[in-house]
Structure 1
């Protein structure tokens, strides 16, 4: 199905529409904090890591980011120690340095008033982190479904977090759109067979992507004129 046709089908859906948002880089500005947590953990342990690669892999499950950004081969014990230390550092950092993007609250507030729209989050983060972060930033009230990694539900690029959200809300894929900021989000949406809108906060060059977004926007506010 061509991208324009896929999104048009979703927009014109007569039934309730499900809008699923990615978390990191889409709703919450956490990328710099995530990279910083990896760098600080690596420095404390004296191991080598590629910060650029960490940033590129944000959106994948944590262990994929860790193993994909380490510059040397390390045994599993070292990797486990690194993961625990990185998590501890991240816990200290994110409340101080992460923040909501300025367009998030106005858009969620407007969409939450729509009777034909259900809002959700779908992320490769563990579900406990999604709950904690959305509560902290005061946005959990806008979402009917929070879908993250837990037993039986894998992270991206597997479509599990999207499929889980659709199953729990009872909304079909034809009436569902995923909104994210990275290529991995686009791949995951395609794997789930749903529409994808790219919020292009980092000036991504989508020409190099295997799959193309159905729509590219530069502010979440643009959604209000589309959906």
Structure 2
């Protein structure tokens, strides 16, 4: 059984999840999902349904959003519709959660190496993160065919290699049960955030031990780990 590493002192690297952790992207994801469903002639989904569907990448989002029993060829077609629409509309309503930009700036100025690892398609991750966090986060790893998505550790380990960071000095931050499992699979300690797409109950049931209620509390927790 893989267990999550307990948080110890002297961390100098942080890997963040993106959607639900740094960015509130739910409205744009829901809008593109429902555009896709309308175009394909399927019933639309509520915002709360889309919230439950996100976390494992765009393809899985579409697979969950279409009616049960939809065949793979049709899911593939819907996935293509979504990607084309989302490319044009992914920044309409998406914005950082309160305090996130200040937190990243402070961590960067205090010598932390920062990375973002997300199951969001790499084209979207690079564009959004570059525009919103590019001054502070130099390593962004999105979903690509060459590596498995979270909760597999592939992209986390790839990011750590790019940063030149060791497991013992790295902490992972995310908002979902997928992130808790990712941290376990990667051998990293983790802090779960409570403002994202999953409840405290879901996170604690998944095994989260440390939580932060807002960006200010998370910033203080991370700075304390570097002392």
Bin for the TM-score computed over the shorter chain: 0.7 to 0.9
Distance 1:144 1:150 in 2: 18
Structure 1 unmatched runs, 5+: none
Q: Does 1:6 align with 2:6?
A: yes
Q: Deviations over 1:104-151 (max 9, x none)?
A: 111011111112x111101112322211111232x1121131122224
3-state SS of 2:191 partner: strand
Corresponding residue of 1:68: 64
User: What is the TM-score when the length of structure 2 is the normalising length?
Assistant: 0.86
**Matched-pair contact (CA < 8 Å) for 1:124–1:161:** no
Corresponding residue of 2:162: 168
- Once the two structures are TM-superposed, the CA of residue 207 in structure 1 deviates from its matched residue by 5.7
Between stretches 188-197 and 214-223, larger displacement belongs to 214-223
Q: Does 1:185 align with 2:185?
A: no
Q: Spell out the pairing of 1:43-82 with structure 2 (5 A cutoff).
A: 43-48=38-43, 50-51=45-46, 52-82=48-78
Corresponding residue of 1:114: 110
RMSD of aligned residue pairs (Cα, Å): 2.3
Q: Does 1:40 align with 2:31?
A: no
Q: Deviations over 1:66-90 (max 9, x none)?
A: 2233223223332222112112222
Given the superposition, is the C-alpha separation of residues 69 and 207 from structure 1 closer, same or farther in structure 2, using an over 3 Å criterion?
A: closer
Distance 1:107 1:208 in 2: 22
Between stretches 182-191 and 142-151, larger displacement belongs to 142-151
Structure 2 unmatched runs, 5+: 223-227
**Matched-pair contact (CA < 8 Å) for 1:53–1:68:** no
- Size of the aligned set, in residue pairs, is 219
